[in-house]
């Protein structure tokens, strides 16, 4: 990626007392500080609605770092870091609060020599995005000559295409597209970044990365947990909007994209958008034949009895929201013509995993393949919880016989030393400071993915599905397995 200089700046976190800030942002900032990867001229101002002093807030941040940071808290380092952390209390729609914040930021510019540069991080509910952006505009905190002003927003980027387009219009009215960073934490995960390196830095893979050698590609993201305390949100989203529209389509585009002309941000993003534009169009027939939705009912995970989705807090007892999605997609270009991409994502599954499985085509029925049931060669990119790459191929079993068995070459980069892999937010905050938006989502990516999901949702809305249709702790509804069986394939569990 581009080697860009770090930006002296004040980072302003709206939602400074929220869960995201305490679990992810502050621990990631500490990890960067620990490694000497923050600019020398840097400060953090957290904005929240709780009545706290700077010292009280810093104590809370310290507790979060002790609990969630990947590096053990060093008292000497913490004593230096805490001096650049400040807390400001006001409601997000309070004009007087922004006036006060502007004065504080000006003072910090003088104190830390941050040159008026701002990184606004909106770690708040989506309903506050427009409010905060509008207030920053009204109080002239968005633009200033010779200063850098960037804004970060978390998913969900809208509820559908119409709301996403409206939100984008309101944000880019104030902040230019190149200064708008839409964060999808999946893109910060170590193995996601490795997909491009593995493909484009190894001729053995890139030469085979097409429909001549690949039979199918499976992209899975499964969780053992349910909706937990997100029932209210999930009732308005479901697995399709919560996972497929963003995370799963990001994995799809990185896996299927053409080689970019260079490693510049926009070149990479251009190729990702081409994948979304090449997806087979959504029709009622296509959805009926190639998409499966599910909702978990009661089940068992280990020794625990698990309640069904309709019994979760803030969930309708007659809910028709899906907690599982499986689909078969085709990318209509020369590289991937005829190769199915199978995608699945679900909650309350048998195992927690995010991985990409590339199944290579089987050999002609000659030589060893003539009389033996050989397993196909597989390349598995493991994203989480284990990070690594596994390659499965056939070899002779030791002994006097001639039995052929699948063996695995398995590389795991976070198995022996967990702290070797940076947290996703750690990488993304570092890129934000540098101004590298490669791992952030451009508007047209959001637009095309929402259009696809909206078309599916519109068709599903007119079809009644019998829920629940899979037990908690299972591998999803039977129809998801049938989706592959009728093609003579299976979901790989590796």
Q: How far apart are CA 436 and CA 69, in angstroms?
A: 24
Q: 95 Cβ partners below 8 Å, 6+ apart?
A: 135, 138, 139
Contact 343, 326 (CB under 8 A): yes
The label of the residue with tokens 């998409």 reads: 291
Q: How far apart are CA 423 and CA 426, in angstroms?
A: 5
The label of the residue with tokens 């930006």 reads: 7
- Is residue 247 part of the annotated active site? The answer reads yes
DSSP state of 247: I
* Tally of CA atoms within 13 A in the half-sphere of 482 that contains its CB: 8
Catalytic residue among 22, 207, 247, 481: 247
Classify residue 197 by burial, with Cβ atoms within 10 Å: 0-12, 13-18, 19+: exposed
Sign for the pseudo-dihedral over CA of 28, 84, 39, 140: positive
Interhelix angle for 129-138 vs 161-172, to 10°?
Answer: 20
Q: How far apart are CA 217 and CA 328, in angstroms?
A: 10
Cite the active site residues.
247
């Amino acid at each position: 990626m581009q080697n860009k200089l770090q930006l002296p700046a004040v980072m302003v976190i709206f939602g400074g007392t929220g869960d995201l800030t305490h679990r992810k942002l502050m621990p990631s900032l500490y990890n960067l500080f620990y490694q000497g990867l923050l600019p020398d001229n840097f400060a953090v101002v957290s904005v929240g609605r709780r009545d706290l002093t700077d010292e009280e807030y810093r104590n809370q941040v310290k507790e979060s770092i002790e609990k969630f940071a990947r590096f053990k808290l060093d008292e000497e380092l913490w004593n230096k870091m805490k001096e650049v952390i400040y807390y400001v209390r006001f409601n997000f729609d309070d004009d007087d609060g922004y006036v006060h914040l502007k004065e504080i930021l000006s003072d910090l510019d003088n104190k830390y020599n941050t040159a008026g540069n701002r990184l606004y991080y909106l770690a708040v509910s989506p309903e506050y995005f427009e409010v905060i952006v509008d207030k920053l505009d009204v109080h002239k905190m968005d633009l200033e000559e010779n200063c850098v002003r960037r804004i970060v927003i978390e998913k969900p980027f809208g509820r559908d295409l119409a709301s996403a387009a409206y939100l984008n219009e309101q944000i880019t009215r104030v902040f230019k597209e190149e200064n708008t960073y839409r964060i999808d934490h999946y893109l910060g995960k170590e193995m996601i970044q490795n997909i491009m390196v593995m493909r484009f830095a190894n001729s053995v893979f890139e030469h085979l990365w097409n429909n001549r050698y690949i039979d199918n590609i499976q992209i899975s993201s499964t969780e053992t947990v349910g909706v937990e305390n997100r029932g209210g949100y999930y009732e308005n989203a479901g697995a399709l909007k919560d996972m497929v529209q963003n995370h799963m389509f990001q994995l799809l585009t990185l896996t299927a994209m053409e080689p970019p002309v260079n490693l510049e941000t926009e070149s990479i993003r251009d190729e990702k958008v081409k994948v979304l534009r090449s997806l087979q169009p959504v029709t009622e027939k296509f959805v009926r034949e190639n998409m499966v939705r599910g909702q978990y009912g009661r089940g068992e995970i280990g020794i625990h009895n698990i309640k069904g989705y309709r019994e979760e807090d803030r969930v309708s007892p007659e809910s028709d929201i899906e907690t599982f999605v499986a689909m078969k997609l085709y990318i209509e270009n020369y590289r991937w013509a005829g190769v199915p991409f199978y995608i699945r994502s679900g909650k309350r599954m048998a195992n927690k995993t995010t991985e990409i499985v590339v199944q290579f085509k089987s050999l002609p029925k000659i030589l060893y393949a003539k009389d033996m049931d050989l397993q196909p060669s597989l390349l598995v990119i493991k994203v989480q919880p284990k990070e690594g790459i596994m390659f499965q191929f056939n070899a002779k079993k030791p002994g006097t016989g001639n039995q052929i068995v699948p063996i695995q070459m398995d590389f795991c980069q976070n198995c022996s030393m967990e702290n070797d892999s940076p947290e996703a937010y750690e990488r993304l905050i570092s890129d934000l400071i540098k101004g590298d938006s490669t791992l952030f989502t451009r508007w047209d990516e959001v637009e095309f993915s929402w259009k696809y999901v909206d078309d599916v949702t519109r068709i599903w809305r007119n079809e009644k599905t019998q829920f629940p249709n899979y037990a908690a702790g299972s591998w999803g509804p039977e129809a998801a397995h049938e989706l592959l069986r009728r093609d003579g394939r299976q979901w790989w569990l590796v």
